[in-house]
């Protein structure tokens, strides 16, 4: 268990372990693969010991569907990056970090059409304020892909 605690921090309330080096959330189903791909410098016996310790933790989710996601008012999850440049859809709360991604979401999910057309705006015209998303949302995510890649908001304090 000491080897596990050196590399991971277990967060029982969310049912995940966060890798302190890679800053990603891990569930039991992904521990062995994570260790093999990201921590190949460790000996085989150490990797097996860490995987065995992870499997023994009852409060650690077996798969991504068992993860409990933090609410918007919760404190930041330790060892995960907090981004302050999130873009949040005002209709459904979906979060992305690029204009292109949030525009694509709004177009596909809500039928949004960009009021700004090609070319330069006419002199004296002002750009419309966009009401489909808000900018500057603080957000985190457990992992880069899959269900754990889902971003969640964190209210600024």
Question: Which pTM was predicted?
Answer: 0.76
Backbone torsions φ then ψ of 3, nearest 5 degrees: -60, -40
Q: How is residue 66 annotated by DSSP? A: G
Regarding predicted confidence, which is higher, 104 or 157? Answer: 104
- Nearest alpha carbon to residue 94 among 155, 154, 152, 25: 152
pLDDT for the residue numbered 129:
61
pLDDT at 108 exceeding the cut of 50: yes
User: Which whole number is the average pLDDT over 22-30?
Assistant: 93
Strands (E) in 67-154, as ranges, are 83-89, 95-96, 133-141, 151-154
Residue 89, token pair as written in the block:
């859809």
pLDDT for the residue numbered 25:
92
pLDDT at 157 exceeding the cut of 50: no
* Neighbouring C-beta atoms of residue 153, cutoff 10 Å: 19
- Nearest alpha carbon to residue 1 among 56, 78, 63, 45: 56
């Amino acid at each position: 268990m000491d080897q596990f605690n050196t590399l991971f921090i277990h967060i029982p309330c969310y049912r995940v372990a966060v890798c302190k080096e890679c800053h990603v959330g891990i569930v039991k189903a992904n521990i062995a693969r994570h260790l093999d791909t990201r921590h190949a410098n460790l000996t085989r016996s150490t990797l097996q010991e860490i995987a065995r310790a992870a499997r023994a933790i009852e409060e650690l989710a077996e798969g991504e569907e068992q993860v409990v996601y933090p609410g918007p008012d919760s404190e930041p999850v330790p060892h995960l990056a907090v981004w302050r440049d999130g873009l949040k859809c005002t209709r459904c709360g979906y979060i992305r970090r690029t204009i292109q991604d949030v525009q694509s979401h709004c177009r596909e999910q809500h039928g949004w059409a960009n009021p700004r057309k090609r070319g330069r705006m006419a002199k004296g015209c002002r750009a419309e304020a966009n009401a489909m998303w808000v900018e500057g949302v603080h957000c985190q995510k457990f992992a880069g892909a899959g269900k754990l890649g889902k971003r969640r908001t964190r209210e600024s304090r």
